[in-house]
Structure 1
Amino acid sequence: MTDALFDYFSCSELPTPTLPLAEAEQLVRSRFALNATLQALGSQQDQNFLVRRVGDAEPLGVLKISNPVFSELEIEMQDAAAETVARRHPPLRIPRIVEGASGAMSGWWETTQGRLHARIISFVSGSTLTGSGYLSPRMVERLGELSAAVSIALAEAEHPASGRVLQWDLRHAERVISDLLQTEPDEAIREIVSRATARAGAALEPVTEQLPRQLGHFDVTDDNVLRPSGPATLPDAVIDFGDVIDSWAVGEIAVTVSSVLHHADASYLTTLPAIAAFHARRPLSEAEVTALWPLVVLRGAVLVLSGRQQVRLDDDNDYASGALDREFEILRRAIAAPIEVVTAQIRAALGFAAAGPPEWDAAPVLPFTDGVVVLDAATQSPLADEGAWLGDDAVERAAQQLLDRGARAVVLPALRPALLGAPARTPSEPATIPTAASVWFAEPTTLRLPGVTTSGATLVARHADAVLSVDAPAPEIPARVRIRVLLTRAGGPPVPDTIRASELAGWAPFIGDATSALGIHSPLANGADDRLLDRREAVVAGVQEHYYASPPRIERGWREYLADVEGRVYLDMVNNVASVGHAHPRIAEALTRQSRLLNTNSRFQYAAITRYGERLAETLPDELDTVFFVNSGSEAVDLAIRLALAATGRRDVVAMAEAYHGWTYASDAVSTSIADNPDALQTRPDWVHTVEAANAYRGRHRGPDAAAYAPEAAERLRALAAGGHAPAAFLSETFYGNAGGVQLPDGYLREVYATVRDLGGLAIADEVQVGFGRLGSWFWGFQQQGVVPDIVAVAKSIGAGFPLGAVITRREIADRYRTQGYFFSSTGGSPLSSVVGLTVLDVIQEEGLQENARVVGAHLKRRLEALVSRHPLVGTVHGQGLYLGLEFVRDSTTLEPAREETAAICDRLLELGVIMQPTGDHQNVLKIKPPLCLSQDSADYFVDMLERVLETGW
């Protein structure tokens, strides 16, 4: 309690005020004439209470009792800084002193703990980002935007108290750490902090004199920003100006970035959106970029030691003790990569010029270059075909095979993403880029290593755990043993064996491709085309969309996996097109063999179309004996409708609402999904009529009451007929696919089919998504309903990714099509299409994929159903077998769709290595339709990752 400015180094221990609640309430009444109740809040060094007027539902503000070491001038500076930011950046919500009947609610109190300063600061509604939940890239970016906004607003501000000395001022961080280390009892903590501080200090020291200073908030952190209630909202408020000082301006973003690091799955890479957003608004200088990460490290060290000291001083300070783990996590992640590597990564992200990689300017070290084979371990390499990339020893196996084929030496280049040996299921990006070139010699070979070259590059070679020294006599390398040769910059940071593709820019100044030092020219491509997505969007129609805003470039599939060009493997939980698994070798073999024999249009006479037609008809009831072949599901539905019109001589079709059937004229006409076409219901031609979606979960009739859908649909059919619109057909999916695999009420199709037939119409089953064993217990969806349709349309699964569709019906219906002319599809039923279709049927039967769908699907559904009771967002699980939908709702009673949450969950799952997309008119259902070969381990991984998202956020 003095007019002197606070100096931490004169008073390093700051126990918080502990005014009793009752006394604080009495003082509020007497000093501020306010009848209010208080609720204690946490604080590191002050004492805070939430203030609520008696009778009011909403809080009035926060009573802040300042630590008595702070002068009135310093408190005034905090309030003045808040006013400045609020005035200069109006979009931000900023707390201010509450005005009462007799003026500002601020002043000194005489209390049982001495004279204390107290003020009521206006309540700012919303929630903080407190905790260690996941922060999306957009949320991290927003933190950088807020940090920049505050920095810019305070850039010209001045105050006589700005020279106070706080422990949080990063200009003094090394001294603070040194003092706190003296009292830190844990030797392991002392060692970690000391080592981190020494490295950060060494990196910071050359630029300290070049760092601009200004007044700043220096605490724009996850705890001190607020966002409005509601899904996908971004923070728009900054609170707690208690750390306002004059310091290095770059400290503003350094503090913000440090607060990101303790959140779920955070790393220095995930902080880049905040840094880029800050730089875009308040550009960082070269010196500030150099200083940024060392300051993040020092901030982490100060947090760790200060928090531990505060807990030792005040055992009852739950706020301080609750932060210990996350504060240590900040430091741990801040030092997880070398400072110089992180700085290079930041420079690249901000567009600063980067140092080139070390280059070899000495003689090649290989004693020969003839007979050397370059090993291609990339995603598209033939060496990775048919799952050969699986297994930790995949690279070793490939190298030995090349030696067996006569290679004198095999070289795996450095710095190129490798799929060989990549893990199949990883919740984070795996390290798939080797930093060293690898060499295998067919015979024992002597390898000579020079020292540091004139350009500062050096080679490090090792095999197993032995390092080959440049000073020792040239060693003889054993035959067929892997030697790693690293080209690095002398004096650079320690280099790991592998790095992640996203880290390449940070390591680029320190690692070169040792292939050149070996004297080998590598013809292999290095990295992905960064402009490929832009090129796609420039040439492909915009409405032909792609998954994800920033999609990975997928160039290989195998079973239920997809692999991108950086060696990341994803679990594909949405791809019902690849029904029997990606890149099935039997399909590839059948395609290759038939393409060497014959591929022509279906008017020629050849065996495959007959055999395939017979096999397909055998899977259906006897009366469905005649097949048309087309190329897609849209064509199949279109043709099914045309068959019904021709067979009945009518023009009206009745379809279920909220469904999608295709993009051709007729299949689009009967599609009423507003997710696919927002104007679907208003733009249907007059010959299309709808019945209500028979959704027992969120429709008008729910649960047992869903039995009412069938008689109401039947009545609708009869009313149309009575009004002169007798239907040619009733068309629906046999499982309600667009809504996420919703099962129709029992008996629904039996009653509706009977009614449409009584009226002289036909029943069309759209089996494009659900047919061909996906349900597990039934090969066809209509079998679950105990009915037989008149016409079946099918595609997707029957070609396993090959363009193939079919319509199956009775002979008399098929023959009626001649009244419309003739039917012809050039490649529908071609030799190639037919052979693929036959092979798919063989694979489903011989590999037991329908049974796999039943067993694994039942296990998957049980695990998904267990989420309903644990996570309020999970509404229900739809479907059967491997045709499932997980519906997200914000309220279990109103069933308000969680659209934004579902989209964010899908994006989050991608980061965790799972391909998933939303479906349904409200886009709030996970579309779970993986390849039928899905393993139980993969099903469990999907649910584990989904639960991780539900627990840590999205």
Structure 2
Amino acid sequence: MTIVDMSSVNAFIPGRAELTAHQASMIEQRDRLLGPAYRLMYQKPLHFVRGEGVWLYDPDGRRYLDTYNNVVSLGHCHPDVVEAITKQVATLCTNTRYLHETILELADGLLSTVSGDLSHMMLTCSGSEANDLAYRIAKVRTGGTGIIITETAYHGITDTVSQFSPTLGEAVPLGAHVRTVKAPAAYRSGPNVADRFRRDVEAAIADLKRHGIKPAMLIVDSIFTSDGILPEEPGFLKGAVEAIRDAGGIFVADEVQPGFGRTGNHMWGFQRHGVDPDIVTLGKPMGNGQPIAGLLTRHDVVEKFGRSSRYFNTFAGNTVSCAAAVAVLQVIRRDKIMDNAREVGAYLLEKVSALRSRHECMGHVRGAGLFVAADINAEKAMQISSGALTASVVNAMRDDGVLISACGEDHNILKIRPPLIFTRDNVDHFVEVLDKALEASTR
């Protein structure tokens, strides 16, 4: 029997949509062969057979505009990345215990995008593994175990990291060593975000200490994606970073979603705030879909861990994935991807914001580069929750050939996160479909 996931705004719920015989058969096989833990997206699940650029194609050749999947940061099947993977896999695929130039080229390229104090790269297979490794390093570095996160954060799915990923839901309990603070949302709570966030972090530190727990790290997604995408007031992280360091902990910037130029003006989201993290964690966008992720850190942060624990991960840093990541960096620089994220992102923000004059349910709209959020607020007279209305919009857009999702504690924030090669024409198409979905969902 298919498990129902009521916590996700765009989850497949059996019986809600008519399925073809082939779709029903595939779902039955998934349940039988993959077990009960997997989930499908959208009320009517999608079956894709091909991807190209910003488009995904179903078996009938219908194309869908992908404005959600940030893993393929440069778009589906980018030719430069495909060529790099193909060439390398036909030559050599091996691990980091052998000398090879590609991992060194990748490390040099990544470290050139950050301050000189961040001098070491360590590779993993996923962002979850990267955050798990960051916590291991933090514990050795500080002697503490306490973690501070935001209320609706998502940092990964390993046993350790799931304990500080509250967005996974109540069925995945937070660790006793974890404290949450409110995400810094100026449009909800008013000005002085920086002061408020610092005070909240200081209160969390005090509570950890009161319970005999030494702080190890403050970790945030630097654009607060799962909390609702909160790019406003660059610089507000400085006070909180000072607070955790004063308490003997370190600051970890989770760049899995805001990194690789997505915010437009900077390669990394934390650079918008003028802070220097102790560790920066990276995710699969660095390989455009290849399973490669990792972290950047300072020598003094990782030195003791390196002496006492060592680190090896058979697949992480393999030559094929490294070749893909090198190609991604080269394309970002050669094709001025950050400029595109900034310019097309500004156009996207303008066009989405303009819909507020046409639809009363559209609340606050905000963004940085090609990362835009729009609150959906149901009117009391509609007899529907904001989350349910958002689900209606998301699924109406899916039916009209545009893929999107949602985030936030109440699942009522449209999460607009297209590939970094998005164009103005793509924006116009997206906004046209969003406009229609909002109209249809509020009739």
Instruction: Summarize deviations over 1:773-798 as a string: whole Å, max 9, x none.
Output: 00011110011111111100011210
Matched AA of 1:626: H
Aligned to 2:176: 686
Matches within 5 A, 1:237-636: 531-636=25-130
| Structure-1 separation of matches of 2:67 and 2:197 | 32
Aligned to 1:811: 299
Task: Tell me the CA shift for residue 690 of structure 1.
Answer: 1.8
| Structure-2 separation of matches of 1:573 and 1:672 | 25
Task: Tell me the CA shift for residue 920 of structure 1.
Answer: 1.8
| Structure-1 separation of matches of 2:43 and 2:243 | 46
Structure 1: gaps spanning 5 or more residues = 1-272, 277-348, 350-501, 503-526
Structure 2 residue corresponding to 1:859, chosen from 347, 351, 354: 347
| Structure-1 separation of matches of 2:441 and 2:208 | 52
| Structure-2 separation of matches of 1:549 and 1:891 | 23
> Does structure 1 conserve the Cα–Cα contact (< 8 Å) formed by 2:378 and 2:389?
no
Aligned to 1:715: 202
SS in 1 for 2:187: coil
SS in 2 for 1:776: coil
| Structure-2 separation of matches of 1:838 and 1:832 | 10
| Structure-2 separation of matches of 1:692 and 1:950 | 29
Aligned to 2:137: 643
| Structure-2 separation of matches of 1:589 and 1:718 | 49
| Structure-1 separation of matches of 2:438 and 2:304 | 54
Q: 1:897 to 1:744 in 2, by over 3 A?
A: farther
Task: Tell me the CA shift for residue 678 of structure 1.
Answer: 2.9
SS in 1 for 2:191: helix
- Greater gyration radius: 1
- With 753-762 and 711-720 compared, the bigger mean Cα shift is at 711-720
Q: 1:947 to 1:770 in 2, by over 3 A?
A: same
Matches within 5 A, 1:38-187: none
| Structure-2 separation of matches of 1:901 and 1:738 | 19
| Structure-1 separation of matches of 2:63 and 2:205 | 53
SS in 2 for 1:557: strand
- Count matched residues: 423
Structure 2 residue corresponding to 1:939, chosen from 421, 427, 434: 427
Q: 1:855 to 1:916 in 2, by over 3 A?
A: same
Instruction: Summarize deviations over 1:111-158 as a string: whole Å, max 9, x none.
Output: xxxxxxxxxxxxxxxxxxxxxxxxxxxxxxxxxxxxxxxxxxxxxxxx
Structure 2 residue corresponding to 1:656, chosen from 135, 141, 150: 150
**TM-score, normalised relative to structure 1:** 0.43
Task: Tell me the CA shift for residue 746 of structure 1.
Answer: 4.0
Matches within 5 A, 1:714-793: 714-720=201-207, 722-723=209-210, 724-743=212-231, 745-793=233-281
Matched AA of 1:647: R
Matched AA of 2:187: Y
Aligned to 1:834: 322
Q: 1:606 to 1:557 in 2, by over 3 A?
A: same
| Structure-2 separation of matches of 1:627 and 1:601 | 15
Instruction: Summarize deviations over 1:714-760 as a string: whole Å, max 9, x none.
Output: 43155246524331111111111003321254433100111111122
| Structure-2 separation of matches of 1:784 and 1:590 | 31
| Structure-1 separation of matches of 2:177 and 2:356 | 42
Structure 2 residue corresponding to 1:883, chosen from 371, 392, 397: 371
SS in 1 for 2:64: strand
| Structure-2 separation of matches of 1:790 and 1:620 | 12
| Structure-2 separation of matches of 1:832 and 1:741 | 33
> Does structure 2 conserve the Cα–Cα contact (< 8 Å) formed by 1:767 and 1:795?
yes
Task: Tell me the CA shift for residue 561 of structure 1.
Answer: 0.5
Instruction: Summarize deviations over 1:382-425 as a string: whole Å, max 9, x none.
Output: xxxxxxxxxxxxxxxxxxxxxxxxxxxxxxxxxxxxxxxxxxxx
Task: Tell me the CA shift for residue 913 of structure 1.
Answer: 0.9
| Structure-1 separation of matches of 2:163 and 2:237 | 22
Task: Tell me the CA shift for residue 538 of structure 1.
Answer: 2.1
> Does structure 2 conserve the Cα–Cα contact (< 8 Å) formed by 1:692 and 1:709?
no
Q: 1:753 to 1:595 in 2, by over 3 A?
A: same
Instruction: Summarize deviations over 1:12-44 as a string: whole Å, max 9, x none.
Output: xxxxxxxxxxxxxxxxxxxxxxxxxxxxxxxxx
SS in 1 for 2:226: coil
Q: 1:711 to 1:550 in 2, by over 3 A?
A: closer
Instruction: Verify: 1:668 aligned to 2:169, yes or no.
Output: no
Q: 1:539 to 1:820 in 2, by over 3 A?
A: farther
Task: Tell me the CA shift for residue 771 of structure 1.
Answer: 0.5
Structure 2: gaps spanning 5 or more residues = 1-15
Query: Quick one: percent identity of the two aligned structures?
Result: 34
SS in 1 for 2:302: helix
Q: CA RMSD in A?
A: 2.3
Matched AA of 1:709: R
Task: Tell me the CA shift for residue 917 of structure 1.
Answer: 1.6
Instruction: Summarize deviations over 1:442-489 as a string: whole Å, max 9, x none.
Output: xxxxxxxxxxxxxxxxxxxxxxxxxxxxxxxxxxxxxxxxxxxxxxxx
Aligned to 1:202: none
SS in 1 for 2:414: strand
| Structure-1 separation of matches of 2:389 and 2:396 | 10
